[in-house]
Every structure is written in C-alpha cells, then in structure tokens.
Amino acid sequence: MNINENMYYQMVREFHKAFNHPVAEQPTIMDVETALNRMSWDAEESLELLHASSETIEEFQFLYLKLLANMKNTYEQLLKTEFPEDRLSAQVDALCDKEYFNQGSFVMMGVKPDRVVEAVHNSNMSKLWNGVPKFREEDGKIIKSDTFVSPEPMIKKEIERQQVSSK
C-alpha cells in the first residue's frame, strides 16, 4: 500500500506556519483550550455536512438534535471511564479515529480526495490578507481575506472529472 506519508500533513503545516498557528517539532500534548477550539471548528464542519445532506430545514433540525443526543450518550459513557494516563497517545488515537472516519466517508462516496484536498488547501492559503492573517477575536478562527477564493468550484470540477473517468 502506498500512502503519501505526509502530503496532507505538509499542506496543513504550511498553512499553520503562514497563519501563525502552533507547529510542534516533536510529539506534544495538545492543551485543553486548543483541543476545545479545534473540536469546536470540527463541530462547525460536521454541522455543514449535515446541512449539505439535508433537503429541508426540518430534516436539518432533526439531524442536529440527533447528533446532540448521540454526543450526550458518548459524554455520559466517558464520564464512567478513567482519564488516560498517557494523554498524548490518547489524543493521537482519537484524532486517528476521526481521520479514519473522515477517509471512510470519502470511500463511501467514491471520491478520491487528493485533488480536492489540494483545492481546499489552496483556498485556505488565499485567506491571507496581503500575506498577513486576521483572526476572529472570540476563538481565534481565521477570517477570510477579500481575495479569498472559494474551493467549491474546483471541488465540483474535480468530482465531475472523477465521475467521467470512472465510467
């Protein structure tokens, strides 16, 4: 199996450096505030997926409430477990599971993500304001520049290319 070991990692590392996000040079535990912010942003993307999957506001509201109920169940289960002694390994395990589920979603959709991820990366890099990042005050999330290029047209084009080439 040929895994492009760090293509995604290197693109995200470039983004982190450009936007003054932390870049660790060795395995390091993520602090609780950073973990919360990153999972909040992850939750935003999860809600965007549910919204994109819905056909009506009622369906979206139902899916949102179901997601909250599922999260509550997991929360209640975790309250009954011991906290990990090795927090770094536990954090890495959780992130790997998330990545595995994410890649599984691409597999289920029949979308090869490499070129799509590259389009998203290029779009993310276009968030710089004349080479300088700007951030939302309440949580530090990046604010898109006036020259931001949305990835959606390139994503659509790549999906169409994959649909044609798979026939």
Interval 53-83: pLDDT, tens: 999 999 999 999 999 999 999 999 999 999 9
Q: How confident is the model at residue 10 (pLDDT cuts 50, 70, 90)?
A: very high
Nearest alpha carbon to residue 155 among 129, 117, 127: 117
- CB neighbours of 128 closer than 8 A, spacing ≥ 6? 18, 19, 145
pTM of the model: 0.86
Pair 142, 19: CB distance under 8 Å: yes
Using the predicted structure, report yes or no on whether residue 3 has a pLDDT greater than 80: no
Collapsed DSSP state (helix, strand, coil) of residue 142: strand
* Token pair listed for 77: 């289960």
From the CB of residue 146, how many other CB atoms can be counted at a distance below 10 Å? 6
Nearest alpha carbon to residue 42 among 54, 30, 25, 26: 30
Q: Whole-number mean pLDDT of the chain?
A: 94
- The span from the CA of 61 to the CA of 98, in Å, is 24
- The span from the CA of 108 to the CA of 43, in Å, is 21
- The span from the CA of 123 to the CA of 148, in Å, is 7
Tell me which DSSP letter residue 143 carries: P
Domain layout of the chain by residue ranges: 31-81, 112-167
- CB neighbours of 144 closer than 8 A, spacing ≥ 6? 127
Hey, what long-range contacts does 74-78 have (CB within 8 A, 24 or more apart)?
none
